Chains A and B, each alone.
Chain A
Amino acid sequence: RKEVEQDPGPFNVPEGATVAFNCTYSNSASQSFFWYRQDCRKEPKLLMSVYSSGNEDGRFTAQLNRASQYISLLIRDSKLSDSATYLCVSHAGNMLTFGGGTRLMVKP
């Protein structure tokens, strides 16, 4: 079992839709979690951190459930420019562990 697991997708949604991704992790020692975004043939970039209390950044909401060991990302009012791969990441010790990513395609 991989340490961080995600549904690879793709999720094909129309503009304006709300879409949610989930991610599960197996290392209970993980201290913090993040969502990174990776555009096609580009490097990953930090999208947002994930807190147990939930956090929101504009159209993006991230949530952590430590009891169930899953992390979620909700995107409201999807834009064409949201099309990318979203990487779920856990941090433990000095290491980041990346999930395989969930691909989102927003269509007009």
Chain B
Amino acid sequence: DTAVSQTPKYLVTQMGNDKSIKCEQNLGHDTMYWYKQDSKKFLKIMFSYNNKELIINETVPNRFSPKSPDKAHLNLHINSLELGDSAVYFCASSLRRTSSSYNEQFFGPGTRLTVL
């Protein structure tokens, strides 16, 4: 199936731990994103990579480090997890947008992170 996939789907962990979430897309897209959706359901961009290069880095604590080994993968590593990191993290991908055009973003199924 052509899609954006994420692993794991659920992640429950203790404060202070380090964890990673993996994302892969087989849509042939060149741009990938990480979003965070908090308990109030606001979906907010965290990072965007185009051809393995970081192009968007919103105000995110440096405990969050994205890594893009190739165009089809964008992983998210989180150090020293805090209670406030509990949220659903969505990966997405698209073709690169120019300033005047928009290419649809396709989202993965989400990773529900709970920090205890």
Residues of A within 8 A of B (CB): 2, 8, 31-32, 34, 41-46, 49, 85, 87, 91, 93-98, 100-101
Tally inter-chain residue pairs, CB-CB below 8 A.
45
Q: List 20 A-B contacts (CB under 8 A).
A: A31-B99, A31-B100, A43-B109, A43-B110, A45-B107, A46-B104, A49-B102, A87-B43, A94-B56, A94-B97, A94-B99, A96-B105, A97-B45, A98-B42, A98-B43, A98-B44, A100-B40, A100-B41, A100-B42, A101-B41
Residue of B43, B102, B108, B109 touching A32 (CB-CB under 8 A): B102
Is the interface on chain B under 10, 10 to 19, 20 to 34, or 35 or more residues? 20 to 34
B56 touches A95 (CB 8 A): yes
Residues of A within 8 A of B44 (CB): 98
A44 touches B107 (CB 8 A): yes
The 9 lowest CB-CB distance pairs between A and B, nearest first, are A43-B107, A98-B43, A46-B104, A100-B42, A91-B102, A32-B102, A101-B41, A44-B107, A43-B109
B40 touches A94 (CB 8 A): no
Tell me the smallest distance from the CB of A30 to a CB of chain B, in Å: 11
